[in-house]
Every structure is written in C-alpha cells, then in structure tokens.
Amino acid sequence: MSDTSHTQTYPSLNGIRVLSLLWIISGHTSQLASVFNLDNSFEWKSRVLEKPIYFYTLSGPVYLGVDSFFFLSGFLGAKTFLNMSEDSGNEVTMGMVVKYIYRRLKRIQPLHLASIPLSIALISLVRWGVFWELPKHQWDSCKHVWWANVLLITNFVSVSDSCTGWAWYLSNDFHFHLTIPLLIFLYVKAKRVMIAAVTMLFIASALATTLLSYFLKLSIRYPRGESQSRMNYWVEYYTKPYCRYGPFLVGIVIAIMLAKNRYIKNKAQAVAGWLCALLIMFLVICLAFVLDDTPASYSIASAIYQGVHRTVWAAAIALILVLCHEGYGGHLNTMLSCAVWNVLSKISYACYLAHPVIIILYCGLQETLFHYQDINMFYLFIGHSVLTFTTGLALTVMVERPFQRLLC
C-alpha cells in the first residue's frame, strides 16, 4: 500500500517517520549492548536509565518512537480508506474491506517473511564469538513458532520465545488496521455512533493498561526489577494490542478530522497549539522520572500514567502534524519536510526489519566485553544507522519492490 500521495500532502510525515526510526535504533543500540556484553553495566544503568538527558535512548518512557509509528500508520491507513470510500460515493462495501486488507498484507508480509530466511542464512554463516547464545536462541525459535509470523500473531507469543521478537509491532499494526473499515463505516453512516465507539475504545485501552500496570506493578520506565517483573512488562503490557491501540486510534481520528476542515485559524491559535504540543511532550518525558513506580510503593498515579502516556504522546505528534499541514510549522516544518526524509522514509519499513539483525549480529560477533561510554555508544549508533539504511535500501530494491509488482 503506497503512502506516496499522503506524504506529498503531508510532507512533515516523512521527517517524523525517519526521526522516530532513528530514535528506535538508538534505543536498541543501547539496550542490546547492555543485554549482551557490557563490562560496566552498573554505570550504564546509573547514567542512561536514570538521567533525563538520555531520553533519546532508553531514559524515561520506553520507545515512544514506536507510538509515533502507530500514530502515522493509523493516520495513513484511515486516509487511504477514506479515499476509497469517497471514490465509491461515500459507501463502504465488503469488496472495499477485502481490498484494503489485501493491500495491507501485500504491503507488510512479503518483506517481513522474506527477511526471516535471509537473516537465518546470514547468521548461520557467521563465526560467532563468545556471546552467541542469545542470537542463537532467537533464530532457533523460528523453527518452532514461524507460523506466528505467517499468521501475524507474534504479539501473543512470548518475546523470549518468538521468531524475530520485533515482529510484534507488525502483528499489532495489522490487527489495528482491521478496525479502520468499521470506524470509517460508522463515520459515513452514523457519526454520533462513531464518536461513541471511539470514546469507548480510548477508555477501554487506557483502563486495561492502567489496571494491568497497577496489579502487576509494571515499571513506567525501562524495567530493571526481578526477572518476572521484567517479563510481565514485555509480555503482558508492551506487546499487547489492547495496551498499544491508543496512538493508532489517535491517527484515525486526526485523519477523519482533517478530511473536511481546517482547525488553526490564526497565529494566536497556532502559538497556543505549539505550546500545548511541547508542554505535553515535556510532561510525558519528565513525569516518568517524578512518579514512584517501585513495587513497594506503587501508586495509582503511576498506573494511570502508564495507561495514557503513549496516547497523549501521539496526540502531541498529531497536533504538530496539524500545525505543519495548515501552514504554522515554521522552521520545524521546513526541517521535517526536507527532501532527504522523503528518500529515507521510502525504505523505513525495510530498515525497521533490518536494524535489530544488524545490532544482534554485531553484538554476537564480539569476543570481549564492551565498555560503555557515551562516545562509544554514539559511534555504535552512527555505524548501525548507516548499515541499516544501506541494508534497507538493498532490501527495498531487491525484495520489497519486486514483490509489490508481482502481487499487483
């Protein structure tokens, strides 16, 4: 499913997408290095996980860049289905739904499924160092749970036992896209019912996440407690669709809102909008350091934060998108709409699939422990990013695009 027409209409989407991807690569660079082979892990924990200045990696809320991706996916998916509905005279038919789902599968599955044997073939040829156990376990799992990737249900398989653990995002994303036709149908036929349905979905997602967080005492930052607590974080909360639907739903709502109207009428409203967006982002990051999420004194405020902060973050990104689209983005819109982002955004999906393999491969090849320093992590991030975009370009040209043409 091509997003070209939408990104031409909303060029700032390209910058948001690529910067979110770089944020995720930065987080995985730090996270996977710490899991594999740091010789000073206590220093890494005390600096990277505790200080707000390291929010660009793993400090504060975990992987907000993923929620930006969910927002963009919901926004672009809803825009696509709205266009299909308008072309059919504001009707939603079963044929349209089937076509939309097929196009979504055609967009994500060929490269997703092709990346698994390619990764296994690459890793099987590598002479591993002493830190090979974790990557070996990751790929051995593919022998047993490959079917979860085919069926796009990896979000219901334990992260520790999954084949390509990062594929949970694709499963959630596909499940979320199944809700778009229903919500657009309600929008076309009964707007008040749609508003009620959207409200209930927001409440249900926030409530489910809040209750899970409170009863399991889930950390609101990168989990560092005992092993069961860490596993609960990744398995029961982080990868589950009912906990991650909020940002995607924000994208759907914004797509519908921008279909007909303009919302920023003057500079005063634009200034207020920018202040709100920046304040929301500031609070989402800073509250993670203020609220007490230790198991012994876990508060309801921490659970509520966990339940809503990702959706609130997506709302701030949505506000920035609206401001840029309606001509009040200023220099930030110029930066986000830069032509270089357009090129990189076209290979961003392949980059998302490739970057964990590159990082795992690098870590698994090491024969000595890695010493954490900011400059070392920065060099790793630069190297992983360059290799990721190079590999992403190759996968897009040699795998993704040919499959897209074959399945047309």
Q: How confident is the model at residue 229 (pLDDT cuts 50, 70, 90)?
A: confident
Average pLDDT, stretch 64-93?
Answer: 94
- Find, among 176, 183, 189, 181, the residue nearest to 100 by Cα: 181
Say what the pLDDT of residue 24 is.
97
Say what the pLDDT of residue 2 is.
42
Query: How far is 399 from 381, CA to CA, in rounded Å?
Result: 25
Token readout for 373 is 């320093």
Average pLDDT, stretch 250-274?
Answer: 90
Query: How far is 141 from 338, CA to CA, in rounded Å?
Result: 41
Query: How far is 79 from 97, CA to CA, in rounded Å?
Result: 14
Residue 57 in contact with residue 27, Cβ under 8 Å?
A: yes
Say what the pLDDT of residue 126 is.
76
Average pLDDT, stretch 394-407?
Answer: 91
Which tens digit of pLDDT belongs to each residue from 10-56?
Answer: 899 999 999 999 999 999 999 988 887 788 988 898 889 989 999 99
Say what the pLDDT of residue 308 is.
97
Which tens digit of pLDDT belongs to each residue from 312-349?
Answer: 999 999 999 999 999 999 999 999 999 999 999 999 99
For 370, phi and psi rounded to 5 degrees? -100, 135
* DSSP per position, 177-219: HTTHHHHHHHHHH-HHHHHHHHHHHHHHHHHHHHHHHHHHT--
User: Whole-model pTM above 0.85?
Assistant: yes
Say what the pLDDT of residue 76 is.
96
Average pLDDT, stretch 50-65?
Answer: 92
Say what the pLDDT of residue 4 is.
52
Average pLDDT, stretch 237-243?
Answer: 96
Tally of domains within the chain:
1
Q: What is the mean pLDDT of the chain?
A: 91
Average pLDDT, stretch 174-196?
Answer: 96
Token readout for 74 is 């919901």
Average pLDDT, stretch 198-207?
Answer: 98
Q: How confident is the model at residue 1 (pLDDT cuts 50, 70, 90)?
A: very low
Looking at the chain, the whole-number percentage of residues with pLDDT higher than 70 is 97
Which 8-state DSSP code applies to residue 38? B
Q: Quote the domain boundaries for residue 387.
A: 4-406
- Span between the terminal Cα atoms of the chain, in Å: 10
Residue type (1 letter), 59: S
Average pLDDT, stretch 240-269?
Answer: 92
Looking at the chain, the whole-number percentage of residues with pLDDT higher than 90 is 70
